[in-house]
Structure 1
Amino acid sequence: MTLRLILSRHAKSDWDNPLDSDHTRPLSARGLDAAPRIGRWLAETGYLPGQALVSDAMRTRQTWDLIAQELPNAPAAAFDNFLYLAGPDVLMGRLRQASAPCVIVIAHNPGIAEFAHRLLAVPMAHPGFNGFPTCATLVAEFYAPDWAQLEFGTGRGVDFTVPRDLL
Structure 2
Amino acid sequence: MRQLILLRHAHAEPASAGQDDHDRPLSSLGLAEARAAGEWLRANGLQPDRVLCSSALRTRQTLDTLGELGDAERRQEPSIYEASPGTLAALADANNDAGCLLLIGHNPGLEQLAALMHSGQTGDYRGMPPAAIAVLDLPAGAVIEPGIARLSAFWWP
- Same fold, TM exceeding 0.5? yes
Cα drift, residue 22 of structure 1 = 0.3
Which residue does 1:41 correspond to in 2? 40
1:162 and 1:74, CA in 2 relative to 1: closer, same or farther beyond 3 A? farther
Q: C-alpha separation between the residues in 1 aligned to 2:99 and 2:118?
A: 18
Backbone CA RMSD of aligned residues: 1.7
How high is the sequence identity, in percent, across the aligned residues?
A: 35
1:122 and 1:160, CA in 2 relative to 1: closer, same or farther beyond 3 A? farther
One-letter amino acid of the structure 1 residue matched with residue 65 of structure 2: L
Runs of 5+ consecutive residues of structure 2 not aligned to the other structure:
none
Bigger Cα displacement from structure 2, 35-44 vs 112-121: 112-121
Runs of 5+ consecutive residues of structure 1 not aligned to the other structure:
124-128
One-letter amino acid of the structure 2 residue matched with residue 120 of structure 1: H
Contact 1:113 1:131 in 2 (8 A): yes
Cα drift, residue 151 of structure 1 = 1.8
Cα drift, residue 66 of structure 1 = 1.0
1:46 and 1:122, CA in 2 relative to 1: closer, same or farther beyond 3 A? farther
Q: What are the residue-to-residue correspondences of 1:21-100 with 2, within 5 Å?
A: 21-67=20-66, 69-71=67-69, 73-98=70-95, 99-100=97-98
Which residue does 1:11 correspond to in 2? 10
> Deviation per CA, 1:78-129, whole angstroms, max 9, x where unpaired?
1111100101000001111112100100111111111110011389xxxxx7
Q: What are the residue-to-residue correspondences of 1:103-122 with 2, within 5 Å?
A: 103-121=101-119
One-letter amino acid of the structure 2 residue matched with residue 111 of structure 1: G
Pairing 1:155–2:149 present: yes
Aligned length: 153
Contact 2:135 2:152 in 1 (8 A): yes
Taking structure 2 as the reference length, what is the TM-score of the superposition?
0.91
1:79 and 1:153, CA in 2 relative to 1: closer, same or farther beyond 3 A? same
Taking structure 1 as the reference length, what is the TM-score of the superposition?
0.86
Bigger Cα displacement from structure 2, 15-24 vs 103-112: 15-24
Give structure 1 regions of 4+ aligned residues with deviation exceeding 6 angstroms. none
